[in-house]
């Protein structure tokens, strides 16, 4: 073998090796999460919430020295799952529910970019600047942690996650700041469509799961918004509404308690398992997730 042929063979070997090393793991299921404070996580994290199967991973989206986690790296999904000092979120028990039912060679990854108190407009490409310009200082600080543009930050983190696995779904919990906004479903559709386009995803393969707000049975201050959220499947065929009936509420009647997040997160998980073609194990509490159409009520 002459030097030229040897060099070409060596180059081909290197290319194949690099390609294999960076190959997307089809058994690493990625889920994007966004919204406001309930998706960010509001309840205090309790000891039972810190015991997590290593198969459940979080992509850290900001630098968190207090957690010894750096932006852009994967870690076992010990809460908090949004930013450095946020609380328990539905994503916590969504992930645990999946891990309990999926095959042992499947890993689940969470990417959570959420901002407490924000309107859905903060995630719209044509509205976020105007909205951020009038946001209170405490919210601006959160927005700035995401580089001033939470939507772009979510996309950047999602693209990074795609190098490791496959995006299987999108979770949303938002609406308290858009109460009675009849255009909310169309605004969400616009964001969902943008995510599909920017991440080269197919709508049929990537469902959107949207959780209801604190229900009227818990005295929810924004419970009327659930009737608007329930209409989301009318504009997004692959959307599913996760009901909040019976999920305990915090004293402000806007957020859930830790138990509320655990129940709601489990319902998100059960719905996603159903869509993935898996059944929940017998040890999982069979909480109601769906009654008619794509709606969780």
Residue 191 in domain: yes
Give the CA radius of gyration of the chain. 20
User: What was the pLDDT predicted at 236?
Assistant: 98
Say if residue 1's pLDDT is above 50. no
Handedness of CA 174, 193, 30, 58 (dihedral sign): negative
Sheet of 28-35: strand order equals 74-76, 56-59, 107-114, 28-35, 166-173, 208-211, 239-242
Residue 12 in domain: no
Host domain of residue 45: 24-276
Query: CA dist 228 to 26, 143, 180, 252, 254, Å?
Result: 35, 26, 7, 21, 17
Given pLDDT bands bounded at 50, 70 and 90, which one contains residue 279? confident
User: What was the pLDDT predicted at 284?
Assistant: 57
Nearest Cα to 77, choosing from 45, 42, 123, 105? 45
Average confidence (pLDDT) over 282-286: 55
- Our count of domains for the chain comes to 1
Strands 56-59 and 74-76: antiparallel
Say if residue 20's pLDDT is above 50. no
Residue 2 in domain: no
The burial of 127, by beta-carbon neighbours within 10 Å (0-12 exposed, 13-18 middle, 19 or more buried), is given as: middle
Reported residue count of the chain is 297
Given pLDDT bands bounded at 50, 70 and 90, which one contains residue 293? very low
Residue 4 in domain: no
Tell me, what DSSP letter sits at residue 108? Answer: E
| DSSP string for residues in 213-275 | -S-GGGT-TTGGGHHHHTTHHHH-TTEEEEP-TT--B-TTSSSB-HHHHHHHHHHHHHHHHHH
Residue 129 in domain: yes
Active site residue 22: no
What is the CATH classification number for the domain harbouring 184? 3.40.50.1110
Please confirm whether the linkage preceding 28 is cis (ω < 30° from 0): no
What tens digit of pLDDT does each residue of 220-232 get? Answer: 999 999 999 999 9
Which residue is catalytic, options 49, 92, 244, 255? 255
Which residues on adjacent β-strands are paired with residue 107?
Answer: 28
Say if residue 291's pLDDT is above 80. no
Average confidence (pLDDT) over 9-28: 52
What tens digit of pLDDT does each residue of 97-121 get? Answer: 999 999 999 999 999 999 999 999 9
Residue 3 in domain: no
User: What was the pLDDT predicted at 290?
Assistant: 42
Q: Find the range with the poorest average confidence among 14-18, 60-64, 80-84, 176-180.
A: 14-18
Strands 28-35 and 107-114: parallel
Query: CA dist 283 to 35, 94, 254, 265, 280, Å?
Result: 30, 15, 30, 16, 8
Q: Answer yes or no: are the C-beta atoms of 271 and 242 closer than 8 Å.
A: yes
Nearest Cα to 173, choosing from 296, 284, 259? 296
Which residue is catalytic, options 37, 114, 177, 244? 37
Active site residue 126: no
| Other CB atoms within 10 A of residue 134 CB | 8
In SS3 terms, 196-225 reads as: HHHCCCCHHHCCEEEECCCCHHHCCCCHHH
Residue 40 in domain: yes
User: What was the pLDDT predicted at 10?
Assistant: 38
Average confidence (pLDDT) over 286-290: 44
Residue 189 in domain: yes
Say if residue 215's pLDDT is above 90. yes
Active site residue 164: no
What tens digit of pLDDT does each residue of 157-204 get? Answer: 999 999 999 999 999 999 999 999 999 999 999 999 999 999 999 999
User: What was the pLDDT predicted at 285?
Assistant: 52
> Percentage of the chain with pLDDT > 70?
87
Given pLDDT bands bounded at 50, 70 and 90, which one contains residue 23? low
User: What was the pLDDT predicted at 289?
Assistant: 43
Which residue is catalytic, options 217, 251, 252, 259? 252
> Percentage of the chain with pLDDT > 90?
86
If you average pLDDT over every residue of the chain, what do you get?
90
Nearest Cα to 110, choosing from 183, 151, 171, 59? 59
């Amino acid at each position: 073998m002459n030097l030229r042929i040897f060099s070409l063979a060596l180059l081909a070997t290197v290319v194949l090796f690099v390609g294999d090393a960076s190959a997307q793991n089809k058994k690493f299921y990625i889920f994007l999460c966004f919204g406001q404070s309930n998706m960010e996580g509001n309840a205090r994290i309790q000891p039972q919430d810190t015991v997590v199967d290593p198969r459940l991973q979080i992509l850290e989206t900001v630098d968190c020295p207090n957690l010894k986690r750096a932006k852009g790296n994967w870690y076992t999904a010990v809460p908090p799952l949004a930013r450095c000092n946020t609380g328990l979120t539905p994503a916590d028990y969504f992930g645990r529910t999946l891990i309990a039912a999926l095959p042992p060679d499947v890993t689940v990854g969470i990417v959570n970019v959420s901002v407490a108190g924000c309107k859905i407009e903060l995630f719209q490409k044509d509205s976020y600047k105007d909205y951020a310009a009038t946001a209170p200082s405490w919210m601006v600080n959160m927005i700035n942690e995401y580089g001033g543009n939470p939507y772009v930050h979510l996309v950047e983190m999602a693209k990074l996650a795609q190098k490791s696995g496959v995006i299987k779904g999108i979770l949303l919990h938002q609406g308290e700041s858009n109460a009675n906004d009849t255009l909310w479903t169309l605004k969400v559709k616009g964001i969902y469509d943008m995510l599909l386009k920017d991440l080269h995803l197919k709508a049929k393969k990537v469902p959107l799961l949207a959780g209801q707000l604190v229900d009227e049975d818990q005295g929810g201050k924004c419970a009327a918004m659930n009737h608007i959220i329930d209409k989301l499947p009318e504009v997004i065929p692959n959307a599913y509404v996760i009901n909040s009936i019976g999920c305990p509420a915090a004293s402000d009647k806007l957020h859930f308690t830790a138990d509320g997040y655990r129940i709601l997160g489990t319902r998100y998980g059960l719905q996603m398992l159903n869509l993935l073609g898996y059944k929940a194990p017998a040890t999982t509490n069979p909480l109601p997730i769906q009654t008619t159409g794509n709606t969780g009520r």
